[in-house]
Amino acid sequence: DAGVIQSPRHEVTEMGQEVTLRCKPISGHDYLFWYRQTMMRGLELLIYFNNNVPIDDSGMPEDRFSAKMPNASFSTLKIQPSEPRDSAVYFCASSFGTEAYEQYFGPGTRLTVT
Amino acid sequence: AQSVAQPEDQVNVAEGNPLTVKCTYSVSGNPYLFWYVQYPNRGLQFLLKYITGDNLVKGSYGFEAEFNKSQTSFHLKKPSALVSDSALYFCAVRDLGSGNTPLVFGKGTRLSVIA
């Protein structure tokens, strides 16, 4: 299996622009998680899905952030408009639906907003 | 509520010496415990987990971890450190019976192995 796939790997954009991050989970996994990692705040859970349905989005920083999962093999995290403080590494992870199962992480998208 | 504490931000160890990265947890029931490693510019990689059974769990790259229920700890260990073990290590927990809720991660411990 190719693992969790994320694109792009790097994104540089100007403040105010829309940013879309993409994720393809491991085939057969029914949970998908979006995380953000910064030096100051560490690893933060933003939102997670089960069977394409958002379960908890309490970690989404504000209304500028939105996430969708239109099918079992694709999810997007969108920031509109972007701000410099959104600069971070964004990780997608997926998991199989048992509590003993580990989460598998993608390589991340490094976002820089200037 | 579930929580994880990694009391050390940084651990330095000489190559060839044993290493320990500490983790303590808090859950209302029984824990599922996990260790992940993050190399520079990479995602988190699963190392090992404790679900049930033997308190000593062996994982990838020669790492092991010991579950201690009385001390609510799950320290990561390796008998002989390599320079290539230098990375950021995360402990994570999930409460048994909570369903497949997201793992709760610690803040991470940066391990530096010095040649």
Give the pLDDT confidence of B74-105 residue by residue, as tens digits.
999 999 999 999 999 999 999 887 777 888 99
CA torsion sign, A17 to A18 to A24 to A30? Answer: positive
Asked if residue A1 has pLDDT above 70, the reply is no
Indicate the DSSP class of residue B84: G
Shortest Cα distance from A42 to chain B (angstroms)?
A: 6
pLDDT digits (tens, 9 = 90+) for A45-62: 999 999 999 999 999 988
* Partner B contacted by A42 (CB < 8 A): yes
Q: pLDDT (tens digit, 9 = 90+) per residue, B9-21?
A: 999 999 999 999 9
Beta bridge partners of A94: A32, A104
Q: Do B32 and A105 touch (CB under 8 A)?
A: no
Q: Least CB-CB distance to A31: which of B90, B100, B105?
A: B100
User: Contact B81/B19 with Cβ under 8 angstroms?
Assistant: yes
How far is A8 from A22, CA to CA, in rounded Å?
A: 7
- Residue B21 carries which side chain, given as an amino acid letter? V
Q: Do A106 and B108 touch (CB under 8 A)?
A: no
Does A103 lie at the interface with B, CB-CB under 8 angstroms?
Answer: yes
Contact B42 A107 (CB under 8 A): yes
CA–CA separation, B29 vs B48, rounded Å?
Answer: 21
